[in-house]
Amino acid sequence: MSRNAKTHLGRRDFLRATAAAGAMTVASPGLLRAQASDINLQTWSAAVDTVQSHVAAFTAETGLGVDYGNSPYAQYRDAMVTKFVGGAPLDMMWVSDAWLPEWAEAGWIAPINDIDFLMAYNADANDFCTNSMTYGGKQYGLTYYSDYMAFFYDAEKVAAAGFDGPPTTWAEVVEQSLAMKEQGISDYPMMLAMAQESWLIEFISALVFSHGGRFTDEDGASIMESSPGVQEALQWVMDAVNTHQIISPACVETGELNGLKAFSSGNHAFAMVAKYRLRTLNDPEQSAIAGNVRQAMMPMGPNGSHETVGWMRFHGMSSAAAADATRKANTAKLMEWFGGKANGEYKFQKLLFLDIGAGFGVEPLFDDPEVRAAYDSYGDVDMIQAQQALALKKDVVTPWFGEWNETNGSAWQSAIIGNTDAASAIKASSDLWTELRDDY
């Protein structure tokens, strides 16, 4: 039998074939690479279907292809930092206001001040949103979502306890809660989720701001120890948990989502959660207290006001995209499509609001009949707008925010569980802030 006629694969044939395949792969990496799109968009895994359909509409409108990827919010920052460092192709991405200084300082995202048609949208945006997208005097994107920490109450429980209306101060929260405990309406009338997670700083900030406190001064130096509202806020939580027992000691293991579920199942009378949760809380399919949940202005401390904390998310442009004229032009078009107007209206922000109840950062949408009708079905638009006007940007958003936030959360938790006193916890947090600020 001739050599050519053999049908089995010999050892040498196998090695030869493997070597040939390897050589081809090395020589032509393009074979394994997918067709590149015009724009690379990265978001976290929220409203994925809405994003996809809006991307499809953009492609149909402009003819530009968009490569869309997403990852869970909990890992988003780490994933994006790794992509930036690794030089992954990125053009437009969702950015949290909390990461802006870090990403801008590292040179990963670029300002959009020189793109006039994008900057023109500032005329419609809330000042809070524009400020939150601005770092070092430069604006880094267009907003698509903005919300704040709200105070909700179960109107039925408040009435059952004999009160005419919701509490307006933190002292009244204690007073009404104690009455409810006494009458057996709720074991722990106030729901506060203080687990160590990304929401914790929002809860802490809302408590501090409503007590009139500030973490830092205008130069970014720590004033935590000298600003009375900070310690007062922590002391209020400590007393509420340990002395009055109106907040469950399990609050340190309760995350935002579990807290929401506990409140919606009727275990509590008061709750501090993100405003966009109001729709869920008044949805009979998702909440046992649907129809009874009302929003009140954030209660205030003895030296405070109804101020609360706000946050926003925006579309940012990578520095790599900004450095290339074509990529920059394409990305700016996509940014306008998502963060500005698409076919004459703030389409994406409206879709997000109607889809998941996410708040928006542009004023004209408050006048949109569809938006007002949706809000009216589960909330009070005027109350929502009034509280939004008192939402403050977190004053701890700096390049070292992430590092400080971890320790600050632990310090507050330690004080709540009685491991340390309020002053020591605040001092530990303040000392770390100063150390990190000096280091940076």
Partner 1 sequence: MTASALARDRKPGLWDRFGYEERSAVLFLAPVMTVLMAVAVFPILYSFYVSLFRIKLTRPNRQPFVWFENYTDLLGDHEFWMSVGKTVTFTVTSVASIALISLLIALLLNEQFKGRRFLSTILLIPWAIPYVANALMWKWIYDSGYGALNGVLYQMDFIDKYMVWLGDQDKTLMLIANAFVWKEVPLATILLLVTLKSIPDDLYSAARVDGATVWQRFIHVTLPAMRPGFMLVMIYETMMAIRHFDLFFVLTEGGPGSASHVLSWHIYVETFRNLSFGSGAAMSYILALATFGLSYFFIRTLGRRL
Catalog residues that contact partner 1 under the rule CB under 8 A: 78, 81-82, 84-85, 102, 105-107, 187, 195-197, 248-254, 258, 262, 267, 399, 402-403, 406, 409-411, 413-414, 416-417, 419
Nearer to partner 1, 13 or 127 (CB): 13
Collapsed DSSP state (helix, strand, coil) of residue 8: coil
Which of 82/113 has CB closer to partner 1?
82
Q: What CA–CA distance (Å, rounded) separates 393 from 148?
A: 9
| Least separation in angstroms between CB 410 and partner 1 | 5
Pick 169 or 196: Cβ nearer partner 1 = 196
* CB nearer to partner 1: pick between 145 and 401: 401
Assigned token pair, 48 = 């994925």
Strand partners of residue 94: 315
Query: Are 201 and 207 a contacting pair, CB within 8 Å?
Result: no
Cβ count near 404 (within 10 Å): 22
Nearer Cβ to partner 1 (29/107) = 107
Question: Cα–Cα distance between 74 and 209 in angstroms, integer?
Answer: 26
Q: What's the closest the beta carbon of residue 89 comes to partner 1, in angstroms?
A: 17
The single residue listed with the structure tokens 């009140």 is: 296
Residue whose CB is less far from partner 1, 269 or 358: 269
Cα angle vertex 134, ends 394, 336, to 5°? 115
Report d(CA 432, CA 410) in Å as an integer. Answer: 12
Alpha-carbon span 149 to 308, nearest angstrom: 6
State residue 71 phi and psi, 5-degree precision: -145, 155
Q: Three-class SS of residue 418?
A: coil
43, 42, 46: which is closest to 356 by C-alpha? 46
In angstroms, give the least distance from the CB of 417 to partner 1. Answer: 5
Residue pair 248/338 in contact by the 8 Å Cβ criterion: no
Which residue spans within 345-397 are E strands per DSSP? 391-393
> Between residues 63 and 107, which has the closer beta carbon with respect to partner 1?
107
CB of 252 to partner 1, least distance (A): 4
Q: How far is the CB of 397 from partner 1 (least distance, A)?
A: 14
CB of 245 to partner 1, least distance (A): 11
The C-alpha atoms of residue 144 and residue 333 are separated, in whole angstroms, by 15
Angle at the Cα of 47 from the Cα atoms of 130 and 287, rounded to 5 degrees: 100
User: Do 81 and 377 touch, CB atoms closer than 8 A?
Assistant: no
Instruction: Find the shortest distance in angstroms from Cβ 157 to partner 1.
Output: 18
The residue (of 122 and 414) whose beta carbon lies closer to partner 1 is 414
Query: Are the C-beta atoms of 360 and 275 separated by less than 8 Å?
Result: no
- Cβ proximity to partner 1, 105 vs 239, nearer residue: 105
Please state the closest distance from residue 70 (CB atom) to partner 1, in A: 19
> In the bound complex, what is the minimum distance in angstroms from residue 224's beta carbon to partner 1?
18
**What is the three-state SS of 172-192?**
HHHHHHHHHHHCCCCCCCEEC
Whole-number Å distance between alpha carbons of 93 and 397: 19
Residue 297's identity, in one-letter code, is: M
Closest to partner 1 by CB, 153 vs 188, is 188
Minimal distance, residue 425 CB to partner 1, in Å: 9
